[in-house]
Structure 1
Amino acid sequence: MLKGKKIVLGVTGGIAAYKAAALTSKLVQKGAEVHVIMTESAKKFITELTLQSLSRNPVYTDTFDERDASVVSHIHLADTADLVLVAPATANTIAKMAHGFADDMLTTTLLATTAPVMIAPAMNVHMYEHPAVVANMNTLHSRGVHFIEPGVGQLACGYVGKGRLEEPETIAAVVETFFERQSEKGCLAGKKVVVTAGGTIERIDPVRYITNDSSGKMGVAFAAAAKDMGAEVTLVAANMQVPYPADVNVVKVQSAEEMYEAVHKLWPETDIMVKAAAVADYRPAEAAKQKIKKKDDTLTLSLVKTIDILESLGKEKTHQYLIGFAAETNDIEFHAKGKLERKNADLIVANDVTKPGAGFGTDTNAVEIYDKHGLVKEIAVISKDEVARQVFQIAISQMEGRE
Structure 2
Amino acid sequence: MTLFGIGCGTLYGKSRTQHKTLIPVDPNISEDELFDVDDDQDPDFVPISREPLAKRRCAVLLFVEEDREEEEEDREAEEEEEEETTRKGKGRGKANAKPKRRPKSALQLRPTTWKKEDISNPPLPSYNHQLPSYVESPQQYFNRFFTLQLIKHITYQTNLYATQKDVGTTFSTTEHEISNFVAILLYMGVVQLPSLDDYWAMDTRVPQVADIMSSKRFRQLRQTIHFNDNSQLHGTIDRFFKVRPLFTNINEAFRREPETPKQSVDEVMVGYKGKAAGNLRRDVQMKPNKMGFKLFSRASEDGFIYDMILYQGLMEVTLQAHGIPLSPEQKTLTDTSQVVTVLASIMNSTCTTALFADDYFTSLELVRYL
Higher strand share: 1
What interval of TM-score do these two structures reach, taking the shorter chain for normalisation? under 0.3
- Using structure 2 for the length normalisation, give the TM-score: 0.22
TM-score normalised by structure 1 residue count: 0.20
Higher Rg: 2
